[in-house]
Amino acid sequence: MTSWLPLSPAERSVAIEVLVHGPLSRTELARRLHLSQGSLTRLTKPLTGSGLLVEAPAADGAARQGRPSRPLDVRAEASSFLGFKITADTVYGVVTTLRSQVTDRLDRPLATHDPGAVADLVAETAAELAARHPGVAGIGVGVGGRVRERAVVAESAFLGWRDVPFAALLQERSGLPVVVENDVAALVEAETWFGAGRGLDRFAVLTVGAGIGYGLVLGGTRVPFDEEDRGFGRYWILDPSGPLTPDGARGSAVSLLTVPGIEYQIRAATGADARYEDILAGAGAGEPMASRVIGEAARALGTLVAQIANFAMPQKILLAGEGVGLMDVAGNTVRETVRAHRHPLAAPVDLETRVSDFHDWARGAAVLAIQVLVLGGAGK
């Protein structure tokens, strides 16, 4: 496993630029970071010395007189990182490279929410993955809830936790450094560096699934906020006369849009249980009750996307999560509602849709581990 030295802020900026956008020539790297060639040489020397950066072959492979210009790159395979997403009933695990490419997956059913037992299960899963991928540098864990100092789960309704020092519990069992973070925050970081938001100054992520998640990136850096535990969607009112559900205020994003909220509405109206996928299929087939509920959800989603676009003015909005299959059935309604809530001369909203599984969330946790354990912080 490569051993990296602690990075200064300037060194971190160089490493991030190469990690996210490389390979880059020294001339291009100096231009991007507004550095002189002398300053860049001084900053890159410890990075190449530690093995974090290497000289890659010239892109065109052509021979040149004098010393050839070789771009700087990272050794993506030098170390592996483990990412875990903990849900109410499953631990989802992935192995990634330094550039967050997923190279392996391993999931385990979760039979208890006892913190020690969960830490045992994650550590066992980590050990199995590490045996298959030598050189694991650290672990990232994503949970739905509020997290303090990337170490303590202050509150998680899904797990019933409060003030659980999960990073310490897992590090003690695994022997590896551990970073814990809110799962939406981790997903936003991963998409900012390696996904839909790469290279964008203003970028937003909206997740729809068991809850509502929102993340905002300004100046290429995620904006942290206390409500990123997904509970804030209970109070994001989209239709004051809309439905009331056990988990959300009347007409809130949670009541109208989440998978449990939509399933509850069908159960309350018909007395019968129905899975989210079946409700979507019913709406697609023109079934009246399913069509009404999904139509309301689509209009609510369009309103929410328009509000984000109007106030945050992002260059792109990524719509992700296990609940965005809604777009396949009622995407036209969503887009029409977005347009209806925007100024007629406003630029079209760049809305990218991705049905994410929990391995995407686990990958986000691995990216947090890369940011913190390798680079000493998140963001530029």
Cα atoms in the 13 Å half-sphere on the side-chain side of 375: 25
Q: Which domain does 264 fall in, by range?
A: 197-354
Residues 6+ apart with CB under 8 A from 10: 43
Q: How many domains does the chain have?
A: 3
Bridge partners, 244 (sequence order): none
* 18, 29 contact by CB (below 8 A): yes
* pLDDT exceeds 70 at position 206: yes
Burial class (CB within 10 angstroms; exposed 0-12, middle 13-18, buried 19+) of 209: buried
Residues 345 and 366 in one domain: no
Residues 177 and 91 in one domain: yes
Residues 6+ apart with CB under 8 A from 62: none
Q: Element (H or E) spanning 103, and its range?
A: strand 102-109
* 258, 277 contact by CB (below 8 A): no
Rounded percentage of the chain residues whose pLDDT exceeds 90? 68
Predicted confidence at residue 141, as pLDDT, reads 98
Q: Which domain CATH number covers 93?
A: 3.30.420.40
Tell me the pLDDT tens digit for each residue of 87-135: 999 999 999 998 999 999 999 999 999 999 999 999 999 999 999 998 8
Residues 271 and 312 in one domain: yes
Residues 48 and 88 in one domain: no
4 in a structural domain: no
Whole-model pTM: value is 0.86
- Please tell me the distance from the alpha carbon of residue 298 to that of residue 348, in angstroms, as a whole number: 18
Domain boundary among 22, 52, 74: 74
Residues 300 and 165 in one domain: no
